[in-house]
Amino acid sequence: MDKAAHIAIITGTRADWGLLSPAARLLRDTPGVRLSVVATNMHLSHRHGYTVDGIIADGFDVTHRVAVPEDLGDSGAGRAHAAAVCLAGVADALAELRPDTAVILGDRFEALAAAQAAVLTAVPVTHLHGGETSRGAVDDSMRHAITKLASLHLCATEEARRRIIQMGEQPDSVITVGAPGVYNALKMPKMSSDELRQNLDGFDIDPERTLLVTYHPETNDYASTPAQRFEALLQALDRFPNCNVILTGTNNDAGAEGIRSLAAEYAAANDGRVLTVESLGARRYLSAMARCAAVVGNSSSGIIEAPSMHIPTVDIGGRQAGRQCAASVIHCGAGADDIAAAIALALTPEARNRAATAANPYYRDDTPRIIAPAAKHRQDIPRHPKPIIGNTLWTPIRYTSSPHAEAAKAFHTRISKFLGESH
């Protein structure tokens, strides 16, 4: 009998858990898999909705909790201290768990800290969403750093796959799986209009005039503060008094508190028209997205998920600069005039028609069914920094006489068999 695969999912935010949860369910329900969940950072912050409760509500045990002090501030130095806490705490968790692989998604500081902890405790890293670019955020550097720490790369697009290979990673270790968020957007059951209204305390979402707004600090722009840039967005929203607005919570990046304060003030001054929600959770968020007129802000959800919901996106500033985008995404500058012009365009029938037919480069059918077995069979690879693995569906592998060849061949055979049966 095969040895049970022990997989640890490390999650730091409501966003990455929402993306990982479908694959996590498949893994949890797969015979021969032991699943552990390590929650850190924003999941354990009361200021950000204490979203670890959402993981539990999804039916998962949280094996380890790595809390970050909430009094570190939102400066760059505060984020560095938070990363240090994450690194130490996740290292302790992994040293105790000893999983076959640590699954990490994305590009945030706690993800980088978790990847460092995994490498230092000899736990191979399986990384999702590597190879992409978002030049307006320090996350861009962190994403690429995680790539160099990872052994298995499950990327969203072929362009991302090529970039990872250009970074020097073994082609046989890079598999295009699509974006988990797109799978969620298409497959997750949505709330009815009445259920959603009830869950939003009576706030009505009108597909002709509701804007779903998420705005994060643009951490590579030093010309102005995140609060100043967010103020420009609020000034633009003032020009659409007939539109109601849902403002979701921001990440705990440097400068986030200024955004959070302005959002609260804006909602208070526009009672009934503007609703602020710290964490909608995946189902409420996607249900709101499916029914809104446009997605506005600088979140990757407007780039990755919204096109598959056929909703226009207004992408503000440079945070997401460099990402592949569907034709439904409208890019604009960070000034109030530019933002207002882009919102006006997004509300036109032409923009809606374009969104209805735009192809999403992040789409691939059955993404979790590729992620889950790849993570499961990762145990077949010896614990060394860059294992030689492969899949004939992507790049043929040449087996050598290296001591890892037999393990690599076994992994290749098992994943190819699975994918051959499911596609």
Same structural domain, 217 and 174: no
pLDDT in tens, 264-302: 999 999 999 999 998 888 899 999 999 999 999 999 999
Same structural domain, 222 and 267: yes
pTM of the predicted structure, to 2 decimals: 0.80
Same structural domain, 95 and 144: yes
Same structural domain, 114 and 236: no
Alpha carbons 5 and 100: distance in angstroms, whole number? 6
pLDDT in tens, 87-130: 999 999 999 999 999 999 989 999 999 999 999 999 999 999 99
**Domain contains 258:** yes
**Domain contains 184:** no
Count of beta carbons in the 10 Å neighbourhood of residue 2: 11
pLDDT in tens, 179-209: 999 998 999 899 999 999 999 999 999 999 9
DSSP assigned state of 192: P
Closest CA to 43 of 23, 28, 22, 64: 64
Count of beta carbons in the 10 Å neighbourhood of residue 341: 17
Give the C-alpha distances (Å, rounded to integers) separating 62 from 8, 66, 163, 341, 398: 10, 11, 34, 45, 40
Q: Is 414 exposed, middle or buried (0-12, 13-18, 19+ CB in 10 A)?
A: middle
Same structural domain, 280 and 387: no
Range of the structural domain that residue 96 is part of: 5-178+364-422
Same structural domain, 13 and 146: yes
347 or 253: whose pLDDT is higher?
Answer: 347
Q: Which two tokens stand for residue 356?
A: 């209805």
Alpha carbons 298 and 216: distance in angstroms, whole number? 6
Residue 104 · residue 126 · CB < 8 Å:
yes
